[in-house]
Amino acid sequence: MEYLLTEEMIRRTFSEYVDDEISIVMKRGAVTENYISYDWDGVSEDESIQTSFSVVLNFAKGTPESIATLDKMWESQNNYVDKDKDMESVSKVDRKASWSTLEGGQLRVSTDEYLFYFTLISREINKDNPLEIMRVWNKNYMIEKSSSLGKEVIEKL
């Protein structure tokens, strides 16, 4: 079975950050996997710095829905889930897309049949001070990369 988000897609999209092994955290679902996460450690020249990355794709539902249902879900999320998450519209992905600070950075995409999300996590932790956690990827980078992956996923749906 070909997954909608593959290790090859992750390696190509984040090539400057993927050096070695990528682990697949979980897959489940039928036609679309409801959830799949790729995690990997980064390489740092400074041994006191540990970097880690994660890209998660999940679907609101693993089955097609009507546009009316998707729009109701979208509006509900706007009013409750994403309300205080600095949401902004993202163009040229599909029917609707938005970026928010949910989970550190998330692209939400609505097609004519599916609602799905890309969550991107990048951490740089100072081993000498583990409470000092920095983000490696900035917002524009995450929007660009998740939008690109979103378009690839849509082509496979």
Query: What does the pLDDT look like over 12-21, one tens digit per residue?
Result: 999 989 877 8
What's the whole-number mean pLDDT along residues 28-52?
77
State the pLDDT at residue 104.
84
Distance CA 121, CA 23 (A): 14
Query: What does the pLDDT look like over 64-121, one tens digit per residue?
Result: 999 999 999 999 998 888 777 788 999 999 999 999 998 889 999 999 999 999 999 9
Q: Give one word for 29, left, alpha or beta, with left for phi > 0 and alpha for psi -120 to 50.
A: left
Q: Please give the mean pLDDT across all residues of the chain.
A: 88
User: At 129, is the secondary structure helix, strand, or coil?
Assistant: strand
Q: pTM of the prediction?
A: 0.88
